[in-house]
Structure 1
Amino acid sequence: MSSRNRRLTLPDATTLARQALQRAGASLPAAEALAEATVAAEAAGQPNVGFAHLIDHLEALKAGRIKGDAVPVLSRPAAAIFHSDAGGGTAQLGFDIAFEALVAAARDLGIALFAQHNAYTCGALGWFATRLAHEGLVAIAASNGPALMAGSGGTTRVFSTNPLAFAAPRSSGAPLLIDQASSETAFVNVRRAAKEGRPIPPGWALDADGRPTTDAAAAVKGALLAYGGARGANIALMVEVLAAGLTGANWSLDAPSFVSGDKSPGSGLLVIAIAPDLLDPQFGQRLDGHLHRLKESHNIHMPGETRGEAASNAARNGIVIEQALLDRLLA
């Protein structure tokens, strides 16, 4: 390990994140929920949506893009539906408050839905789905944010990266987890490349004039491209309808920036929880066996395994943080 890096246990990392958030103006409940999500992403080997993205939250708290003292207002318009107005706060707190009742409703009714609007961007979307999978539930999550990506046939920003996440419990090992953006890459990857002066691969983005570019700095001012062309753009539109349309959140075109100004992006989040045991009591065992067959007999990569292994290793050995990033958090 480089002398420029520091190793922290997961409890110490969580304390660091929580204290930094509180100093920046977050309430204790908001800080605890976001700290948990941040450390989970870092432990799973997703540093771009871990502590590096926590800096965005800290700056947003200071600037007013996140209301640190916001208390989500929860309603239950139907037995299986939970609706949260995040009040301009974080995306994690409303979900955290509703979590136990959401799990109970899904187990009782077979399916339950959490819908939230008026929040900051959600960071690692897989965190929401994985929490439900650890409770034995199948989960689907969708989220939107400020426009960063061009749509099908277009050259200007109309959608966020509009990620979609899916998680399912297995009888052994980490849950199956699919968590991917609708864009060819995440915006944080392009932004980091621009900061480090590195080019980006062809097909990731357009510049401000709508021309394909490998210049990361030009891409930051332009638009990301959807993965798979029109198919990825169609997924982004579907996510937009689920995460913004159904929840009452800002459409990506109308969402203020998450990195500048003093307005909340007013992002949306939709999470569906399904109780598989009500349909098939052997679901976890059958899924585990099938995924094992796909991996061992057909060499199929299993989404979620790498993150699960990284998280297990982090629980034993802690996580490594760059000293420069640690200094920013401590400051």
Structure 2
Amino acid sequence: MKYESGAARHIAFGAIKAVGANDAIAHSLTEAVISAELAGSKAVGFAHLPDYLDGFVQGRIAVNAEPQVTFAALAAVRVDARGGIAQLAFDRVFGEIVDRAKTYGVVTLAVSNSFTVGELGYYTRRLAESGLVALGTCNATAQMTTLECGKPVYGTNPVSFAAPVANDRPLVIDQASSATAFVSVRRAAQAGETLPEGWAVDEQGVPTTDARAAIKGLLLPFGGARGANIAMMMEILAAGMTGANWSMDAPHYAKGSETPGIGLFLVALKADVFAEDFEARLAAQIERLAQAGVRIPGSHIKVREIDVPDDVMNKVRSFGSGKPAA
């Protein structure tokens, strides 16, 4: 069913409030969900919201957590999410990040002790909309392995890059270091679809195309060892540099009552400190690449209404009834 953004926003906010989250958390999470939907990142929009709602109910997310902000250096911002959501942590320091980046040319943000961050591109896109070039990563509960290992060692450990483009919306690249996201495997399992080869292994560590078997197994990195190396680099930034849980130590985001306590790491740069005509040059280069046949990330997405399957929206709404759907 299709929803106007205002109606979808009302449903999301109401569901988050219904499970006990305070207004600030509900507002931050709602805006992130709507932004993901409008960006075409549906797997981390309404489809991912029940993970948050269940997290609030089961205690994996603190319903009243107020992030603790410290400034380790003039261009370094640290936030302890205190078992809450990364979206609120980001909102609490967004203005400081923009101001400091425009003052010092570069600023870093390290968020620790949070639930999963949702759409990583949400954070870099917002910075790019404020005129900054941004690079970000995060980790999560270990759900990815390597063929030679067979044990859960990394989250999907995505990387996102965003940059302002003259007279256009920002360029945003957001991709996992795994061959796919876990929510995509879960969606395929629910639909009875098969997976491409190289996406996952089963419980025994054997490569599989059976989505239901993959749900019980682990994801694989894209590109074999190269993807695994990127996952390791992102892990060091997202967990090592923030002081958050390593993915191997992070409690599961969908089980139990403990927060995953994972991290988000961002770097924001004021491009015209380095190149005064950056936005115009990037616009011209993107046009040249497009004319050469290069697929420009996000260029095909033109979302005006939010289309959410009835079963997904029914599950979201069910949290307000006191009887969440299975």
Shorter-chain TM range is over 0.9
Residue of 230, 233, 236 corresponding to 2:228: 233
Q: What's the CA shift string for 1:285-307, capped at 9, x where partnerless? A: 000001101111x1001113234
Instruction: State the shift of 1:196 in Å.
Output: 2.3
Distance 1:152-1:112 versus aligned 2 partners, 3 A rule: farther
1:168-247 paired onto structure 2 within 5 Å: 168-247=163-242
Instruction: State the shift of 1:105 in Å.
Output: 0.1
Q: Which structure 1 residue ranges, 4+ long, deviate > 4 Å from structure 2?
A: none
Matched positions, count: 318
In structure 1, runs of 5+ residues without a counterpart are none
Residue of 291, 294, 297 corresponding to 1:300: 294
Contact 2:147–2:220 (Cα < 8 Å) also in 1: no
In structure 2, runs of 5+ residues without a counterpart are 319-326
Residue 45 of structure 1 corresponds to: 40
- Percent sequence identity is 44
TM-score (norm. length: structure 2)? 0.95
Counterpart residue type for residue 64 of structure 2: D
Partner SS, residue 266 of structure 2? strand
Contact 1:80–1:111 (Cα < 8 Å) also in 2: yes
1:305-324 paired onto structure 2 within 5 Å: 305-307=299-301, 309-310=302-303, 314=304, 318-324=305-311
Say whether 1:127 aligns with 2:114. no
Residue of 85, 93, 97 corresponding to 2:88: 93
Instruction: State the shift of 1:175 in Å.
Output: 1.0
1:19-58 paired onto structure 2 within 5 Å: 19-58=14-53
TM-score (norm. length: structure 1)? 0.94
Contact 2:142–2:154 (Cα < 8 Å) also in 1: yes
Residue 8 of structure 1 corresponds to: 3
Cα RMSD (Å) of the superposition? Answer: 1.1
Q: What's the CA shift string for 1:303-322, capped at 9, x where partnerless? A: 13234x33xxx1xxx21222
Contact 1:157–1:222 (Cα < 8 Å) also in 2: no
Instruction: State the shift of 1:143 in Å.
Output: 0.1
Say whether 1:328 aligns with 2:312. no
Counterpart residue type for residue 50 of structure 1: G
Distance 1:293-1:249 versus aligned 2 partners, 3 A rule: same
Say whether 1:75 aligns with 2:62. no
Contact 2:200–2:220 (Cα < 8 Å) also in 1: yes
Instruction: State the shift of 1:325 in Å.
Output: 2.2
Residue 65 of structure 1 corresponds to: 60
- 2: distance between equivalents of 1:28 and 1:165? 28
- 1: distance between equivalents of 2:307 and 2:188? 21
Contact 2:127–2:268 (Cα < 8 Å) also in 1: yes
Return 152-161 or 111-120, whichever deviates more: 152-161
- 2: distance between equivalents of 1:278 and 1:14? 37
Residue 271 of structure 2 corresponds to: 276
Counterpart residue type for residue 57 of structure 1: Y
Residue 146 of structure 1 corresponds to: 141
Instruction: State the shift of 1:152 in Å.
Output: 6.4
Contact 1:213–1:219 (Cα < 8 Å) also in 2: yes
Contact 2:79–2:110 (Cα < 8 Å) also in 1: yes
Counterpart residue type for residue 184 of structure 1: A
Say whether 1:267 aligns with 2:262. yes
Contact 1:151–1:159 (Cα < 8 Å) also in 2: no
Contact 1:174–1:305 (Cα < 8 Å) also in 2: no
